[in-house]
């Protein structure tokens, strides 16, 4: 992977840490009073030292200004440094979580807590940034983790009275790590989005940032597109009299939001649809109603215009939207009544619809981020909890009540981990310890969430479900159950619909007006049904899936949030937690201003003094007895182990280490307890001892390695010298010997030529003396005629044999040419319904399904349903454009086209399929075409078609025209299914179906799928093969290949051993395979450079019931021309045995299984099983005998 700019080396020259001021760890302070703690924090804050330790707990004071302590140099400085080694910093906490995750093999968590405006969100962003840089590897997933922050801030953050960028929802971010502890993904778990802010932000506060980014940051053309103007023109934005934030550039924030969406594969079209939804929320807020008797009507033309714009942006009928907003659906036993509402209820119903539209889009965005960043498999994670801080306003409603409940739960978790659990361990281990009193908030939690007797949430749920309940009955029941019965509940004297809860951070007075409606959080059924029928595909699918995916059913908001908090506490309990206490220095959000009273209150209710006391007096670091001995015996190697008495051994070791008991450490029943500073000192001493030992080992290893290299070099030199001396002398001898042989040969040649001349002359003289005789002398006429007939017959036989051989050769060439033409077809063919066509597999295995028509651009859509037999595994459509295995990609019309020659039109939509990437478990792809608009069907579409294109050559392979008759809204076009493992076939279906979404098609394609056959097992033996290198045959070169066989059956595969440099390899390999297929494929391969495999030939073998093949030859087919380009390809035969070992299957007798495949079943089917070598010899021998006899 290439390096990014973040991987460039960091120059640390001249970098220095700031000088220390006060106590960096407050457990080491002499003045253990709250005033002493405040004085220490104030001195450090004045020197821009905003971080201070309390043992391993970090106190962070918000500076309200940018400090230069977060660049790459600071990241490098704290990388690999333990807590306390250098000055306090949030990077030290983040590095500690990463280090402990690796060493302890346990998930880690960081709990960032504090009031609103204390800097929790910024602290979370700093932790994420450090973990992304900590792994020293730049990857897209790390960039996506950081880029998810501006998306969430735009949709979920807003300005409050205490914070300009307050998170109005809680989130738990899991940073997931793989086996090598690199970031593999992330997951965001949201908690309680503040919906009431959408329709009514409080005075001096703002709505969510995205609305101001749209109304201020967009140019005039974009505003005109969404019918937007200035923020002050919208009721949802101007009701709080706060429009802008000092120093915030809305246009730049909007551009950052859109860039982040593009990184998460949100196309420009979907971004446009998202902005339409957001703009419609603003227009709904400007729709004003007036009473008309018992009904409500539009107040004026301006409201009517905003209603029309909202309907246009949501692709809804304006009259249907008007009717749904002003009526309520009442279901009786036998009928359904549409009841008109008065103008107050209509106003509430309009606001409820706006909140539903926005919150559903927010949930979809979070799921989209998780879909892009969440890892399918990971080893461990580090969780960062950024949840809303304790809130107390002039008007506190249900949202503040639930937010403060979450802070009560987190405080209880902190108390349990720091106080209860700590002291419980000391008691169990029976060490010398003094109990520390602390403030327990369990009774306050019982008041809020207890079921029996019922708490506040239980009573609220009862009143929410009771049809005749009112706010007065709710407050009356609360006073009746808790007034003067719980020390944490108070009844105000002069306020009728208020009550006070004394939280750990102080008392908060709550106004219960509207609590029942907020807790119910219902969307009118007429409106939810209407928006699901939107003409915009994205909006219709978004709000259809939101209803189908709602796991809460009819749970109230309070019950849902209570369950979320329970799950969160269970998750945190399974991790090793680290705590960051964020402190707000002043209410004015000014830098360098330290409000002692405000900070005093925050430290007091956070239990900071008790925390300092227990961390100072206690022993936060602990090891098991054996672990302590193994970890620190390296410091004192002279201490020996006393077998059977580990306590005595550890006492000796502790004495040798110079520690005191019980001052520095204590030994319990099963653990050794250490103070934090003592543990840090021991770690430093251990590192020194280990470094010394490692250096000695390195010195010894370098010595041994150098001597080994010297000995090897000396031994090699001696061998080389001896070889050189021998080779030099032998070379001289060979040259002399060669000269002698040449001389001897020349001498023998001269003597032989002289002797030949003498003999030839002698023979010539003898022949000259003898009389000449005719050749046929002594033969009768019949014998001469017979000789002539024999000569003529032999000539005729040789001529016939030559003609037969030439005819056979021409027939074979014609058959091969037909086969190549079948595989290399470049001209388009027209498919008919039910017809099947073989798929040509080119070099990279890529094909494209193209869809085209004439008419509206968004009338039709294509979907791909992926099956393994009848099991639905995956799907690809416009809004889910990529399969999980990456083999199928949906491209919309604007993404680019494959231009067709001969002047044909372009495709409107295309689907790319890479057959080499499609998961082996997927064996059937079904293509479905859908008409989405309600007013359209296939009769209204002009000249629709589907075609198959070879991606690499741009050649159209086949085309299928869609019938236009009928009123159906979907067509099951065709299916692409496997034959064996690497062969595919396309079958045209063209059957009509109903439904407008791809989900409707899953059940309707069942009749065209094959049920999964039972699982079968086979024992396969590969004996030997006879191969012929086709490339070497043409070039005339000798060939010797190193080959092996790969058996592919369904998703199972097995390999034979590798036979090196042989064209008649003896594999002698037996393997077991199992699966559900009907065809087994045997592939002959060889290794090429860099360990890559090259396919040479293959054979397809059908598997009938009870298959039993014993040592039979199978024909190997070479690769087709497209795939063999630039590669080696072979032909030949393979001897194989296949025995079915499935329990309960009767095996056939050897030789009964017919290995031939019909052309309608498998492309390039292997020939019938040939006979063995003896049969061929017998056959050829018989022909020779006949010929000889003739």
Closest CA to 851 of 906, 932, 925: 906
Q: Known catalytic residues? A: 116-117, 121, 163, 166-167, 389, 391
Query: How many CB atoms are closer than 10 A to CB 966?
Result: 11
Q: Cα-atom radius of gyration of the chain, to the nearest Å?
A: 43
As a 3-state breakdown, the chain gives helix, strand, coil percent values, each rounded to 5, of: 45, 20, 35
DSSP characters for 635-665? T-TTPPP-TT-HHHHHHHHHHHHT--TTTTE
Three-state DSSP state, 360: helix
What is the dihedral sign for C-alpha 425, 429, 430, 433?
negative
Is the bond preceding 350 in cis, omega lying within 30 degrees of 0? no
- Distance separating alpha carbons of residues 658 and 1019, to the nearest angstrom: 68
- Distance separating alpha carbons of residues 1093 and 1108, to the nearest angstrom: 30
Quote the DSSP letter at residue 7.
Answer: G
Question: Residues near 638 by Cβ (< 8 Å), separated by ≥ 6?
Answer: 656
- Distance separating alpha carbons of residues 1139 and 255, to the nearest angstrom: 65
- Distance separating alpha carbons of residues 953 and 825, to the nearest angstrom: 11
Closest CA to 927 of 880, 877, 859, 869: 877
Tokens standing for residue 199: 């329709």
Strand-strand pairing, 51-54 and 57-61: antiparallel
Contact 718, 726 (CB under 8 A): no
Report the 3 state secondary structure along 828-890.
Answer: CEECCCCCEEECCCCCCCEEEEEEEEECCCCCEEEEEEEEECCEEEEEEECCECECCCCCEEE
Contact 93, 81 (CB under 8 A): no
Tokens standing for residue 173: 């971010």
Quote the DSSP letter at residue 1161.
Answer: T
- Distance separating alpha carbons of residues 102 and 99, to the nearest angstrom: 5
922-941: burial string, b at 16+ Cβ within 10 Å, e else: bbbbbbbbbbbeeeebbeeb
Closest CA to 921 of 964, 868, 973: 868
The helix or strand, by DSSP H or E, that contains position 1144, with its residue range, turns out to be none
Contact 463, 419 (CB under 8 A): no
Is the bond preceding 453 in cis, omega lying within 30 degrees of 0? yes
Contact 122, 112 (CB under 8 A): no
Report how far apart, in Å, the C-alpha atoms of 1041 and of each of 370, 432, 1070, 1181 are.
Answer: 49, 77, 22, 32
Q: What region does 506 belong to: left with phi over 0, alpha with psi -120 to 50, or beta?
A: left
Is the bond preceding 662 in cis, omega lying within 30 degrees of 0? yes
Three-state DSSP state, 813: helix
- Distance separating alpha carbons of residues 101 and 290, to the nearest angstrom: 62
Query: How many CB atoms are closer than 10 A to CB 1061?
Result: 10
Length of the chain: 1190
Tokens standing for residue 1026: 């006879």
């Amino acid at each position: 992977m290439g390096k990014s700019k973040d991987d460039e080396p960091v120059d640390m020259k001249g970098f220095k840490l700031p000088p220390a001021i006060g106590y960096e760890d407050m457990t080491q302070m002499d003045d253990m009073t709250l005033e002493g703690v405040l004085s220490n924090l104030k001195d450090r804050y004045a020197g821009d030292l905003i971080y201070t330790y309390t043992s391993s707990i970090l106190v962070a004071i918000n500076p309200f200004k940018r400090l230069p302590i977060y660049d790459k140099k600071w990241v490098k400085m704290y990388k690999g440094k333990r807590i306390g080694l250098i000055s306090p910093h949030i990077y030290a906490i983040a590095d500690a979580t990463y280090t402990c995750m690796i060493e302890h093999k346990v998930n880690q968590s960081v709990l960032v807590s504090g009031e609103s405006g204390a800097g929790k969100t910024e602290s979370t962003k700093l932790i994420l940034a450090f973990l992304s840089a900590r792994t020293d590897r730049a990857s897209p997933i790390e960039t996506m983790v950081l880029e998810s922050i501006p998306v969430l801030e735009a949709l979920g953050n807003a300005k409050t009275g205490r914070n300009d960028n307050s998170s109005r929802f809680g989130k738990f971010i899991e940073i997931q790590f793989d086996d090598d502890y690199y970031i593999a993904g992330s997951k965001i778990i949201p908690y309680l989005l503040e919906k009431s802010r959408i329709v009514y932000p409080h005075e001096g506060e703002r709505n969510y940032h995205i609305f101001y980014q749209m109304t201020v940051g967009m140019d005039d053309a974009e505003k005109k597109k969404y019918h937007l103007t200035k923020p002050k023109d919208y009721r949802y934005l101007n009701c709080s009299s706060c429009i802008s934030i000092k120093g915030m550039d809305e246009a730049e924030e909007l551009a950052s939001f859109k860039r982040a969406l593009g990184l998460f594969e949100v196309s420009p079209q979907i971004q446009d649809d998202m902005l339409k939804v957001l703009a419609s929320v603003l227009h709904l807020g400007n729709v004003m109603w007036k009473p008309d008797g018992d009904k409500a009507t539009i107040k004026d033309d301006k409201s009517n215009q905003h209603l029309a714009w909202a309907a246009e942006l949501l692709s809804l009928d304006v009259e249907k939207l008007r009717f749904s907003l002003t009526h309520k659906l009442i279901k009786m036993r036998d009928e359904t009544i549409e009841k008109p509402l008065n103008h107050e209820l209509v106003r509430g119903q309009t606001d409820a619809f706006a909140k539903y539209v926005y919150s559903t889009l927010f949930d979809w965005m979070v799921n989209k981020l998780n879909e892009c960043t969440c890892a399918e498999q990971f080893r461990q994670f580090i969780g960062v909890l950024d949840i809303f801080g304790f809130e107390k306003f002039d008007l506190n409603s249900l949202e503040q009540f639930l937010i403060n409940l979450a802070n009560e739960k987190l405080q209880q978790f902190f108390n349990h981990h720091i106080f209860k659990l700590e002291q419980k361990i000391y008691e169990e281990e029976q060490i010398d310890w003094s109990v520390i009193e602390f403030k327990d908030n369990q009774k306050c939690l019982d008041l809020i969430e207890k079921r029996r007797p019922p708490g506040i949430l239980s009573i609220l749920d009862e009143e929410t479900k009771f049809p005749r309940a009112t706010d007065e009955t709710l407050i009356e029941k609360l006073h009746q159950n808790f007034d003067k019965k719980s020390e944490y509940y108070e009844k105000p004297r002069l306020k009728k619909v208020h009550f006070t809860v004394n939280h750990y951070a102080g008392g908060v007075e709550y106004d219960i007006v509207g609590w029942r409606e907020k807790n119910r959080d219902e969307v009118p059924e007429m409106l939810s049904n209407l928006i699901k029928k939107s003409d915009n595909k994205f909006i219709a699918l978004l709000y259809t899936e939101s209803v189908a995916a709602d796991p809460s059913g009819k749970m109230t908001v309070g019950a849902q949030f209570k369950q979320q908090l329970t799950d969160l506490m269970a998750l945190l309990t399974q991790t090793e937690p680290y705590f960051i206490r964020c402190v707000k220095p002043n209410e004015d959000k000014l830098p360098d201003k330290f409000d002692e009273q405000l900070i005093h209150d925050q430290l007091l209710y956070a239990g900071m003094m008790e925390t300092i006391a227990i961390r100072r007096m206690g022993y936060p670091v602990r090891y098991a007895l054996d672990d302590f001995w193994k970890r620190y015996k390296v410091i004192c190697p002279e201490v020996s182990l006393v077998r059977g008495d580990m306590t005595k051994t550890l006492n000796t070791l502790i004495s040798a280490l110079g520690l005191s008991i019980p001052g520095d450490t204590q030994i319990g029943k099963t653990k050794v307890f250490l103070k934090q500073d003592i543990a840090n000192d021991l770690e430093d001493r251990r590192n020194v001892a280990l470094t010394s030992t490692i250096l000695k080992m390195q010195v010894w290893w370098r010595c041994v390695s150098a001597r080994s290299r010297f000995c090897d070099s000396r031994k090699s030199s001696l061998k080389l010298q001896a070889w050189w001396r021998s080779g030099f002398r032998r070379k001289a001898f060979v040259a002399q010997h060669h000269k002698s042989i040449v001389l001897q040969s020349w001498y023998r040649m001269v003597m032989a030529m002289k002797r030949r001349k003498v003999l030839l002359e002698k023979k010539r003289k003898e022949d000259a003396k003898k009389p000449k005789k005719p050749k046929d002398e002594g033969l009768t006429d019949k014998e001469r005629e017979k000789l002539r007939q024999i000569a003529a017959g032999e000539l005729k036989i040789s001529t016939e044999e030559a003609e037969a051989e030439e005819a056979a050769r021409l027939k074979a060439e014609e058959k091969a040419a037909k086969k190549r033409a079948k595989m290399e077809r470049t001209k388009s063919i027209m498919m008919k319904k039910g017809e099947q066509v073989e798929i040509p597999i080119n070099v990279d295995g890529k094909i494209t399904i193209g869809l085209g028509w004439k008419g509206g651009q968004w009338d039709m859509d294509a979907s791909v349903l992926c099956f393994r037999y009848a099991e639905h595994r995956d799907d690809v459509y416009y809004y889910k454009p990529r399969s999980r295995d990456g083999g199928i990609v949906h491209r919309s019309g604007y993404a680019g086209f494959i231009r067709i020659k001969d002047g044909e039109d372009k495709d409107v939509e295309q689907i790319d399929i890479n057959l080499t990437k499609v998961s082996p478990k997927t064996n059937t792809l079904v293509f479905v075409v859908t008409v989405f608009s309600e007013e359209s069907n296939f009769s209204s579409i002009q000249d629709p078609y589907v075609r198959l294109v070879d991606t690499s050559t741009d050649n159209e392979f086949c085309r299928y025209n869609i019938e236009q008759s009928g009123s159906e809204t979907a067509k099951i076009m065709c299916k692409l299914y496997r034959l064996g493992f690497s062969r595919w076939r396309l079958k045209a279906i063209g059957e009509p179906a109903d439904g407008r979404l791809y989900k409707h098609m899953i059940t309707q394609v069942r009749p065209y799928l094959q049920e999964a056959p039972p699982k079968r097992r086979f024992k396969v033996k590969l004996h030997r093969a006879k191969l012929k290198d086709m490339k070497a045959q043409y070039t005339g070169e000798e060939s010797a290949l190193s080959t092996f066989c790969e058996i592919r059956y369904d998703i199972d595969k097995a390999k034979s051993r590798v036979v090196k440099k042989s064209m008649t390899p003896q594999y002698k390999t037996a393997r077991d395979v199992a699966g559900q297929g009907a065809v087994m494929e045997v592939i002959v391969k060889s290794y090429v450079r860099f360990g890559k495999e090259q396919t040479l030939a293959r054979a397809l073998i059908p598997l009938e019931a009870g298959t039993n093949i014993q040592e039979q030859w199978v024909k190997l087919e070479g690769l087709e021309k497209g795939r063999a380009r630039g590669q080696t390809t072979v032909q030949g035969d393979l001897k194989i045995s296949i025995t079915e070992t499935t329990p309960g299957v009767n095996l056939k007798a050897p030789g009964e299984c017919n290995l031939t495949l019909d052309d309608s079943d498998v492309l390039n089917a292997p020939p019938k099983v040939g006979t063995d070598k003896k049969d061929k010899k017998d056959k050829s021998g018989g022909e020779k005998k006949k010929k000889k006899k003739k």
